[in-house]
Amino acid sequence: MTIPLHIGFIPLVDAAALIVAVDKGFTAAEGLDVTLVREVSWSNVRDKLNIGLFDAAHLLAPVAIASSLGIGHVRVAITAPFNLGLNGNAITVSPALHAAMMAEIDGDPFDPMATALALSRVVATRRKNGAEPLTFGMTFPFSTHNYQLRFWMAAGGVDPDEDLRLVVLPPPYMVDSIASGQIDGFCVGAPWNSIAVDRGVGHILHFVSDILVRAAEKVLAIRQSWSEKNPDVVAALVRAAFRAAEFIEQPENRSEVARLLARPERIGVDADVIQRTLDGRLKISPDGTIRESNRYLLVGREGAARPDPVQAAWLYAQMVRWGQAAISPEALAVARAVFRPDLYDAALGIHGEADRGAPGSVGAFAGPTFDPSDVAGYLASFKVFRRVP
């Protein structure tokens, strides 16, 4: 007897572990009959998960936390027993903004502090000349993309709420929006940055791994109440996703994985673009400039798949910094409890620290080292922030 499940996803490369788990038969081997449902927006995924139309979902890590805290929407406690990806985002800007920033830059164009300061000079010049504020796209208010853009901008003295505009756009719409001039830049996951470059309408300015060494991106999200009633199913899903992540991380499998993800009902872009993402070898400029990074997207290696509550605490800290949540020990505890390394370990039979993989610090390029036990002290070091209304 197989157990039928419906799982929602957005067409992004960091859905790879779920897609490969289903399409390579790893879920079927665990007795699961999984139907993957492609969605276009994170609000659709969240809402269908919350009301039970989805049994699980590929979900933005901060959305799982916000849902559990009841901020921005109804409160539905979410459990995340598997991390679908670390890093994987990039910041892309239009050719016009790229040229303007490079004219103002003082230092290495791959140094996020140098580019943040260059952006602040562009913003100041535009204000002086009476130009419209720059507009950047991000995927959701409770998203890593939102927080990564804000963190980078604020480090250079740019107030993302006062000095420019941030707008919400579904990932597949980013490229057309920058091509039409509706936005000047965006932060999104793969493959949409590469698609913008290939179309000649964007320059990849930074990989998110320039901003943060380790950034929890998407999680396998399950309603806590459903998880508690179906622990064996949750464990089976974790095992299948783990097998898929291991498969993806083997270089000899990358071309097959790229072909699976490229299919119209999955991500629906050229397999070559997806393989570049998986290999961490991306074209960053329409002139063909290539940049390589072994940290662009981590699916299973370096302990990436194991949920790390420190990452959840950092995301909660960003919610506080930008006025989305009040600070309290209770809310911090709820946020940390969303990420469930105990369920991951139990599903995979992991015992002892040596088998778990080392959780890395967030490793931000600016500010003090993040201490999850002192969120207030950490946030007090920043000059640009919002207060809860």
pLDDT tens-digit series, residues 3-57? 999 999 999 999 999 999 999 999 999 999 999 999 988 999 999 999 999 999 9
pLDDT at 180 over 70: yes
Q: Which domains does the chain have, with CATH numbers?
A: 3-86+215-267+299-368 (3.40.190.10)
57 token code pair: 């979902």
Buried b vs exposed e over 315-328: b needs ≥16 C-beta within 10 Å?
bbbbbbbbebbeee
Long-range contacts of 69-75 (CB under 8 A, 24+ apart): 69/316, 69/319, 69/325, 69/331, 69/334, 69/335, 71/142, 71/319, 71/324, 71/325, 72/141, 72/142, 72/324, 73/46, 73/47, 74/50
Number of H helices, E strands in the chain: 18, 13
- Flag whether the pTM goes above 0.85: yes
- CA distance from start to end of the chain: 52
Distance CA 69, CA 74 (A): 9
What backbone phi and psi angles, to 5 degrees, belong to 124? -65, -40
Instruction: Provide the mean pLDDT of the chain.
Output: 95
Residue with tokens 């707008």: 167
pLDDT tens-digit series, residues 98-133? 999 999 999 999 999 999 999 999 999 999 999 999
Q: What pLDDT does 356 receive?
A: 46
Which residues does 6 contact at the CB level (< 8 Å), separation at least 6? 34, 35, 37, 53, 54, 55
pLDDT tens-digit series, residues 324-368? 999 999 999 999 999 999 999 999 998 765 444 445 579 999 999
Is 125 strand, coil or helix?
helix
Residue with tokens 């291991």: 246
Please, what is the angle between helix 254-262 and helix 271-279, to 10°? 130
